[in-house]
Amino acid sequence: MFPRSSGILLHISSLPGGFGIGDLGPEAYRFVDFLAETGQTFWQILPLNPPGVSNSPYVSPSAMAGADIIISPEKLAEEGLLSPQDWQNAPEFPPDKVDYPSVYAFKRQLLLKAFENFRARGYLQPEFEDFCQRQSFWLEDYALFMALKDAHKGLPWSNWEPSLALRIPEAIESIRHKLAYEIIFYKFAQFIFDRQWKALKDYAAQKGIKIIGDIPIYVAYDAADVWSHPEFFQLDEKGHPTVVAGVPPDYFSPTGQLWGNPIYRWDVLAEKGYEWWVMRFRRVLEYVDVVRVDHFRGFEAYWEVPAGQDTAINGRWVKGPGADLFKALKSALGEISIIAEDLGFITPEVEELREQFGFPGMKVLQFAFGSGPDNPHLPHNYPRNCVVYTGTHDNDTAVGWFSSLPENVREHFCKYAATDGREVNWTMVRLAMASVANLCIIPLQDILGLGSEGRMNYPGRPEGNWEWRLHPGALTPEMKSRLAELTSLYGRWRK
């Protein structure tokens, strides 16, 4: 269980800075200082994996790799691998959102320049070789996969020549030689990400700040993990999924949600002692202190849809690995600090699995209003062992949410919170902070009082997500003082 504490949800990409996207440079360190100065204990981020389809960190080309797009050019300059002249002709990026195509192109050139300097100077070579050896269980396949994607102009691996798509050994050995430069470049990018992230995490630890990371339950089909380990997924002889993931129809979506991720062969993973999952958790625990497990209910039972369906309607519930997986993780890794994302259709069996291991679940204030007093998201119903959020990365901001509420829900909120609706974001922050939940996490947008322009993700919308960025100077002294006061008042100040 967490001690009584609080933290802020802000992904790295949302930080300010001059390179088109938040990165692991000076602004990240300043944000750690902000957290420390306001008494916070936690910084919650989204998955650190490279963004994939629609720029989502939840649909990544690797479950193990780090997002090299957030490497800091300024930190590379400190290492002597770049100089400020290398970015003198940088494009003029929009300050309030990430223009991913422009950022990718710009960062790629800077990383290639740094790579050339690294090869020429060689002073980090022993450390690089040690990193490659320690991470070889995923890095070899990832670097080759990305080099092959570049060689195939970004096509999914299922559209490559069959000998490469199906990893025929002679073809793989031959292509490794042809793409040797590109393979080493991708390993270098991961090495630099690892150095920069660990330096930032060490700084956070010195300030008493812990990092909450995120593990999506599923991986993308077009990912190194599926290409290199097809035996762990329900695929046919040509490598195509036979069933895919989603969630069933509900009040919010009459056709359900068809995610399209391949589904694990849990029987095969169990036979191998869940070794791949152990390695995945071990990998993420190198980078974070606490793991939020996305779609936790899928480990108890998951919605399986036959491949080729247009909607998720014609699926079925299938039992997942349940307690066996978490016992294997505990046996291999010891006690892991986990937050179970238990939102959506939750059964007694899911609650039993969560409670068996003492994992705190999630409560979201935006889900609390408009129904009766027994709503589990209302603060008076919380157990202490839970994590309360005003909203998540999938929700609108508090201000945007309130402005679009039906009148009856708005009235319920105002009565419950004893407010006239002004400064709704601070009312929500106060409700969360004052609750008995051991841990309280506030999206930074709700500290800033932003409307829907600050929203991070619209589930089901294919474009325009994951782009929001914090304006430089937005964290004013008044705002810091107000957050610090509430943190102290409700007994959540960092111990």
The set of residues, in sequence order, having a beta carbon less than 8 Å from that of 17 and lying 6+ positions away, is 23, 25, 26, 27
Report how far Cα 367 is from the mean position of its chain's Cα atoms. Answer: 22
The set of residues, in sequence order, having a beta carbon less than 8 Å from that of 31 and lying 6+ positions away, is 10, 15, 43
Structure tokens at 152: 């195939």
User: How many Cβ atoms from other residues are within 10 Å of residue 78's Cβ?
Assistant: 13
For tokens 């009856």, the residue is: 408
Contact 188, 128 (CB under 8 A): yes
What are 247's strand-pairing partners? Answer: 257
The set of residues, in sequence order, having a beta carbon less than 8 Å from that of 342 and lying 6+ positions away, is 296, 297, 350, 351, 354, 361, 362
Instruction: State how far the Cα of 427 lies from the Cα of 414, in Å rounded to an integer.
Output: 10
Give DSSP secondary structure letters for 220-264: -SSSHHHHH-GGGB-B-TTS-BSEEEEE---SS-TT-EEEEEEPB
Contact 29, 200 (CB under 8 A): yes
Instruction: State how far the Cα of 110 lies from the Cα of 118, in Å rounded to an integer.
Output: 12
Instruction: State how far the Cα of 461 lies from the Cα of 448, in Å rounded to an integer.
Output: 24
- Long-range CB pairs of 250-256, under 8 A, 24+ apart, other chains included: 250/344, 250/345, 253/460, 255/311, 255/312, 255/313, 256/303, 256/311, 256/312, 256/313, 256/315
User: How many Cβ atoms from other residues are within 10 Å of residue 80's Cβ?
Assistant: 13
For tokens 């040509």, the residue is: 238
Instruction: State how far the Cα of 454 lies from the Cα of 42, in Å rounded to an integer.
Output: 21
Catalytic site residues?
A: 294, 341, 394
Strand ranges, E, within 248-315 = 257-262, 290-293, 301-306
- Assign 273 to helix, strand or coil: coil
Structure tokens at 354: 């969560």
**301-306 and 386-389 strand pairing:** unpaired
Phi, psi of 184 (to 5 degrees): -65, -35
For tokens 């430089």, the residue is: 472
